[in-house]
Amino acid sequence: MKKTLFTALLALFAIFTYAQQGNGLTLSPAAPTAGKPLSINYSAKGTDLEFSDEVSAVALLFQNASQWKAQPLTLKKVNGSWTGSLLLPADVSFFALRFFQGSADHPDAKDNNNGKGFFSRVLSPKKKVVPGNYLGEALLYMAEQELSPFASPQNDAATVEALLKKESQIPGAKLKEDQLSNIQRYYQFIAKDELRSEQLKSEILSRFPKGKMARFIRYQQALQEPDKAKMTGALEQFLAEFPIVEWRKNPDGQAYIYYEVYRGLATAYFRQKAYDKFLALFNDFDFKTANEVYRFNVTKMEMIGSEAEKKAVLPLSRKIMPVLFKLKNDGSYAEDFSGNDSLINNNVAQQLSERIFSHVSLCKAAGAYDEGLEYIGYLSDQKRYASAELNEIHLYLLDQLKQTGKIKPLLEASVKNMAVTPLMFDRLKAIYLAEHNGNTQDYDKYLASLNSSDAVDAMRVHVMENMVKHPLIPFSLENAEGKMVNSSDWKDKIVVIDFWATWCRPCIMAFPGMQLLIDKYAKDPSVAVYMIGTMQFGDYKKKSVDFVKSQGFRFNLLHDAIGENGEQNKVFRSLIPLFQSSGIPRKIIVKNGEVRYSSEGYSGSPSQLMDELSMAIEIIRKEK
């Protein structure tokens, strides 16, 4: 009897000694017990932490044999070792430790036992083995996701197999799908054991026919269908087999699958003009999916569709917009912004304002002017006048409804928000002249008085952040008339250059703002503006010239030269070291062979673009 008891105790002790003794870590008691305190003694001698003034630790607790929970530990230095304590929760069966200096996420130095891990199994309060004792160690060997800081993946399939076998012998032990999937990936990618990997895959699909792996496989099969009609059917079949209502009862990190499935299906229905099916999908959507489906289909039609097509989709927008308003606070963008409420709310507000813009634009096309004004009223004070394009539509709606008394306040608010189009400037000037008997003497002062000092200050900060000093490699480019223009002839001039392309929508959208700038400095011989078409294809010269003429813009056009790579981007490419980007539109300002200002993108406001470049020009002009 005594011999049997001794043998049992020896075996039990052996369970808990691996990776504890002889590696700088001592636990007391040596066989930790759930629900009891545990003392930790760590010696950093011979490790990267040996000379650290402060060492911290994190315990990763395996609870209910299903989830890991991190527990920060405070350590104190006693007689050359770092000591601490941990009260083990009653549901813990295994834990791992790591030691570090600095922050836990980005430590200056660390020790995880050279990748082998510091760990221990935990007995039940009745001193018995429990589910998770061996599984925890097996999962640590794989070092996936949250386990990766605590150990490195070990290519030792025999040990993993032995641990899993022991786990299976514990009463009540039963692996969950995520755990089996982790093990299957280990055999596939680390151990390179295709046979065992396939065996586990079959077991998972058999045990969990409606689980994550089965769902992912059906999703992939549907997307890989080359025939579009068959793909639509496959996506419909996917939703029948794996309804989102069931998934939402226990969401498991596969929201992206439903997002992609619904987006693909909605696009197919929209193209087929199966609008009843298209609208029915919105019953299943969260805000993120509803917003994206609207953007990709309805907004796209609003942007590029014919007037008849825009009128046809307005009834769809009328039914979808209330859904977006209802779902806006559902938190579906939380994962995209790591749970940051401020970023989430700002994104939702921006997305919703863009959808309102699309709806208002559709109302304009369909002659639903009152409805368009109603939706503009749904915008926040901050968003209502922030878009020059929307402000111009707002002006159009007021004109159509004969609400002339609201026009001047709209125009003044638009100027204050630096969101004015050339047409709106003309209209405001006409109103001013009518009120001042045609006298323009103080018009510029009047405009300046409308500008918000905060907005002007913010713009000055933006402009100063984009001031640079970078040498311009001299170039010679052909203009619209076929004559050569040499940059070396620009001495003492301030020259604004806009890099653009006919395929670049933001570039085209910025053209009215560039025209405002050109008109503003038309009588100033010390300032010149050139529009350089770049990165274009085919007969790019004719396409550029014809497009600008068709739109009525009065630009000094230049065609970028063909570079050594055979692409039409020689001058633009020479400035990549400055830009650190290949994006357009790109505005630069040059003086005396040096780039002094550089800015990428377009804010959406012609007047704001004019004001930005004008401010930069005047700052450069005042320099000695």
Stated length of the chain: 624
- What band does 600 get if pLDDT is binned at 50, 70 and 90? very high
Tell me the C-alpha distance between 309 and 366, whole Å. 10
Each residue of 404-439: pLDDT tens digit? 999 999 999 999 999 999 999 999 999 999 999 999
- 3-state SS record for 20-86: CCCCCEEEECCCCECCCEEEEEECCCCCCCCCCCCCEEEEEEEECCCEEEEEEECCEEECCEEEEEE
pLDDT for 251 equals: 93
Element (H, E) at 288: helix 287-293
**Are the beta carbons of 163 and 133 closer than 8 angstroms?**
no
Q: Report CA-CA distances (Å) from 401 to 77, 314, 368, 406.
A: 79, 19, 10, 11
Nearest to 211 by CA among 252, 245, 239: 252
The 3-state DSSP class for residue 527 equals strand
- 3-state SS record for 68-126: EEEEEECCEEECCEEEEEEECCCCEEEEEEEEEEECCCCEEEEECCCCCCEEEECECCC
What percentage of the chain reaches a pLDDT higher than 70? 96
Q: Is the pLDDT of residue 239 over 90?
A: yes
Look up the CATH number of domain 2-174: 2.60.40.10
Q: Is the pTM of this model over 0.85?
A: no
Domain 463-622 fold is Glutaredoxin (3.40.30)
Tell me which residue has tokens 């009328």.
Answer: 318
Where along the chain do its domains lie? Answer: 2-174, 463-622
pLDDT for 21 equals: 40
Q: How many CB atoms lie within 10 A of CB 305?
A: 16
Tokens representing residue 459 in the block: 């713009």
Tokens representing residue 283 in the block: 């019953």
Q: Is the pLDDT of residue 1 over 60?
A: no
User: What contacts 39, CB < 8 A, 6 or more positions away?
Assistant: 27, 28, 83, 84, 85
Tokens representing residue 44 in the block: 């950093």
Tell me the C-alpha distance between 390 and 345, whole Å. 22
User: What contacts 128, CB < 8 A, 6 or more positions away?
Assistant: none
Tokens representing residue 66 in the block: 């299903």
Each residue of 478-532: pLDDT tens digit? 999 999 999 999 988 999 999 999 999 899 999 999 999 999 999 999 999 999 9
Q: Is the pLDDT of residue 110 over 70?
A: yes
Tell me the C-alpha distance between 55 and 110, whole Å. 9
Nearest to 357 by CA among 340, 335, 338, 372: 372
**Are the beta carbons of 95 and 119 closer than 8 angstroms?**
yes
Element (H, E) at 255: helix 255-271
pLDDT for 558 equals: 97
User: What is the longest distance spanned by two Cα atoms in the chain?
Assistant: 117
Per-residue pLDDT, averaged over 175-188, amounts to 96
Q: Both ends of the chain: CA-CA distance in Å?
A: 100
Tell me the C-alpha distance between 544 and 551, whole Å. 11
